[in-house]
Copies of this chain bind each other. A is one copy, B any other.
Amino acid sequence: MSELSRATVSRLPRYLRLIEDSADSRTVSSEALAAAAGVNAANVRRDLSDLGFQGTRGVGYSAPALRDRIRRELGIERRRKVAIIGAGNLGTALARYSGLSKRGFDVVAIYDVDAGRIGQLIGDVKIQDLEEMPSDCSFGCFDMAILAVPASSAQPVTDDLVAAGIASILNFAPIRVTVPDTVAVRQVDLSTELQILSYYG
């Protein structure tokens, strides 16, 4: 089985969202998916074809079957366990975001170094000492991490996560972190986003 292109993978969540947000309809057309994702209908058909997912000519695609297929492809056919590192304003905001649960992700742990925060609850998750993070990760409590720490801590924390066997990292710290090829990373940088916007605005 060949890999999906990066472009295709980046569109799958948009297709999934349309299906999940329109709970009732049995079928969905490439045209509808295209409109929701902001792409061309031929592009959608190509994407789903690459996925090995077949529709019915004259009818469309089975919405529940497509939902399951995309979830399986994305690896969220079972729920994923996520840890949030850093319980400052950003980490707290991310932890409180209830949409995560709806999309297949459970925040199972939150870590911080501040003794004043450790032990407090965010939702129903207790903030733990960051020192417990590596063993929890090694133990398989979670396999995805969201970095919401200061720039200075981002790389050291990343190194600890990698050593503990993390699979994926979403980095909100304002600095790029480096990892081995075995670990998937995405970086969200506020300044970069604003600079790109500034060009177009």
Interface set of A (CB-CB < 8 Å, partner B): 4, 9-10, 12-14, 16-17, 73-76, 80, 82, 88-90, 92-94, 96-97, 99-100, 102-105, 143-144, 146, 148, 151, 167-170, 174, 183-186, 188, 190-201
Chain B residues, CB < 8 A from A169: 197
Given contacts A174-B99, A199-B75, A201-B184, contact A194 B92 (CB under 8 A): no
Least distance between A83 CB and chain B CB atoms (Å): 12
Chain B residues, CB < 8 A from A97: 174, 190
Taking A75-B199, A184-B200 as known contacts, 12 extra A-B pairs with beta carbons closer than 8 A to each other, sorted by chain A number, are: A9-B200, A74-B195, A75-B198, A89-B92, A89-B96, A90-B93, A93-B148, A94-B190, A103-B194, A144-B201, A170-B193, A188-B193
Given contacts A93-B90, A167-B201, A168-B201, contact A196 B191 (CB under 8 A): no
User: B144 and A190: CB pair below 8 A?
Assistant: no
Of A9, A96, A105, A195, most buried by chain B (CB within 10 Å of CB) is A195
23 A-B pairs with CB atoms under 8 Å apart are A10-B196, A12-B195, A16-B195, A17-B192, A74-B195, A74-B196, A74-B198, A76-B198, A82-B194, A88-B93, A99-B190, A100-B190, A100-B194, A102-B191, A103-B195, A104-B195, A105-B191, A105-B194, A144-B197, A144-B198, A146-B190, A168-B201, A188-B193
Chain B residue with minimal CB distance to A89?
B93
Chain B residue with minimal CB distance to A73?
B199
Q: Which of B93, B168, B195 contacts A198 (CB 8 A)?
A: B168
Least distance between A192 CB and chain B CB atoms (Å): 4
User: A184 and B197: CB pair below 8 A?
Assistant: yes
Cα A4 to Cα B169 in complex, Å, equals 31
User: A80 and B198: CB pair below 8 A?
Assistant: yes
Cα A103 to Cα B183 in complex, Å, equals 29
User: B74 and A199: CB pair below 8 A?
Assistant: yes
